[in-house]
Amino acid sequence: MLASASPSPLAPGDAGEGATREDFLRAFDRARVLRTRAAGRPARLLWLLAGPGVLVMMGENDGPSMVSYATTGATYGVGFFAPFILLTFVMAFVVQEMTVRVGIATHRGHAELIMQRFGPFWGYFSMADLVFGNLLTLVTEFIAIQAGGLYFGLPAWASVGLGALLVFASLALRRYATWERALMALAAGNLLFVPAALYAHPDGAALAHALATWGPLPRNTGAAFLTLILANVGATVTPWMIFFQQSAVVDKGLTRADLPQGRLDTAIGAGIAAIAAIATLVAAAPLFGAHVDVSQFVSGADFATALQPLIGSTGATLFALGIIEAGLLAAMTIATSSSYALSEVFSANHSLNLDFKSGRMFFGVAVGSTLLAAGTVLIPGAPLLAMTLTVNVIATLLMAPALLFLLLLANDRFLMRDLTNTWRGNLAGGTIVVAISLIGALYGIITVFPDLLGK
Amino acid sequence: MRYDPAHLAALEPDQFSAAHRAHLPRRKLSRGVVVLLVLLRVYVLLAIPVVAYAFIHAL
């Protein structure tokens, strides 16, 4: 039987009775993993099992995140914030490692588990948080695509339209493994910020000193400093990441035997994403040296334009391309995160291995949310800057309840058995919940009362 | 690629899409957990209007 026949499910009496296209494609990938493990090829095995961790971490290096890192570099230079960004990625690893374990132990998505274990009351609240946050974040990804396009002289309708088409094209692959590899290739574009940083001729010794000593500390530590602290945290851990990675781990078919590779995938993703984030900080640092006021900048395109005389047109072009890539990759992963979660909640089929007919809801959610977000960006006079800033605040606020659900699931012995959280995991996770809650509260307060801590 | 039924042996029983039709039992939440969930819900419900205010203020 050929793939084009799209048997979902197979006809009764067939050897794979009841199995769907989704099952066959996942089984094909799993068979390859089992053969590779049996052949004792660890590097090849890691290559086959990597993906969800790299994509979630690189996806979170999205448009607004890169603008946050650039704003930080332009405002404070390289110093305290280089190790701070590294710390936020350690935090992201702690959170995302839990999603890998929960996904592997249960073979079920995050939304599905919340709905079934905690009931519809908490399930719908959780979904409302996710859908609300994801839709707003998706809008900001198209703002980033539009901003990057403007740097190259593309009109907004062209860059946003092209971005939406590419998101649809990724969904049209209808195969998890192909989708994942295509997005990983796109994610490599996040490293464009590394050569952009090299064009800024950074002082390697100063960067090493900053990473080792957390210094020099900024002189001005008022509201602007605190806002950037909070924005950088919000740029690294957000609710969509939890839902996305757990569902992707399940869709890919990872099992208990794959846990070491799942963890390594997440650690590699965090490491690469941290390098790209710090490179963005370094690339924008010449604006700090030139005393450029970035407070009136609207988007990543403004950074690229302002950097042109300082790091050259090649460096600035790489920066603008990086902003487009950041928005595009995140648009693909965030739209898919919404698809997984909503389909799981409504017990609809949920997999990137589905055909369009059996995955109407799954693909419909991604297409609908993409169209809505892209359309919002094209509304004349839409408050794009205010939206970008607000999305960061909302993501941080919604993270605390999302993390609590994750911790509860990771401690659910009925589900997790030998993969239940250890006390160390709970201490780390609990500390992050408390820290994120306090940060979110503080972020909200200084957003409403910006003069509370002085300028 | 062929849809080879032999490959299906590579899947664990609960990795089949049909396994998702069986729902998991509801967990009984302790009072402490419910209080935490309610507190965080109140936190979000209080914070969102604050953010909405900030958004409108920034326009």
Does position A237 have pLDDT exceeding 90, yes or no? no
pLDDT value at residue A399: 85
Nearest to residue A130, comparing CAs of A329, A335, A437?
A: A335
Mean pLDDT of A397-407: 89
Q: Is residue A11 part of a domain?
A: no
Test A7 with B3 for CB contact under 8 angstroms: yes
- A437 pLDDT tier (thresholds 50, 70, 90): confident
Mean pLDDT of A47-59: 97
Test B41 with A125 for CB contact under 8 angstroms: yes
pLDDT value at residue A84: 94
pLDDT value at residue A351: 95
Does position A250 have pLDDT exceeding 80, yes or no? yes
Q: pLDDT per residue over A64-84, tens digit each?
A: 889 889 988 998 888 899 999
- Domain of A289 in residue numbering reads as 20-448
CATH of the domain at A288: 1.20.1740.10
Mean pLDDT of A127-134: 91
Where in chain B are the domains?
25-59
Mean pLDDT of A100-114: 96
- A223 pLDDT tier (thresholds 50, 70, 90): low
pLDDT value at residue A441: 75
Test A20 with B17 for CB contact under 8 angstroms: yes
Q: pLDDT per residue over B6-57, tens digit each?
A: 889 999 999 999 998 888 999 999 999 999 999 989 988 888 887 787 778 7
B33 neighbourhood in chain A, CB within 8 Å = 408
Q: pLDDT per residue over A276-288, tens digit each?
A: 999 999 999 999 9
Q: What is the ipTM of this complex?
A: 0.92
Candidates A393, A406, A412: best to mutate against B (most CBs of B within 10 A) is A393
pLDDT value at residue A5: 35
Does position A101 have pLDDT exceeding 80, yes or no? yes
Q: What percent of chain A has pLDDT over 90?
A: 69
pLDDT value at residue A447: 66
User: What phi and psi values does residue A114 have, to the nearest 5 degrees?
Assistant: -60, -45
Q: Considering CB atoms only, which of B2, B3, B51 is closest to A393?
A: B51
Q: What is the tally of structural domains in chain A? A: 1
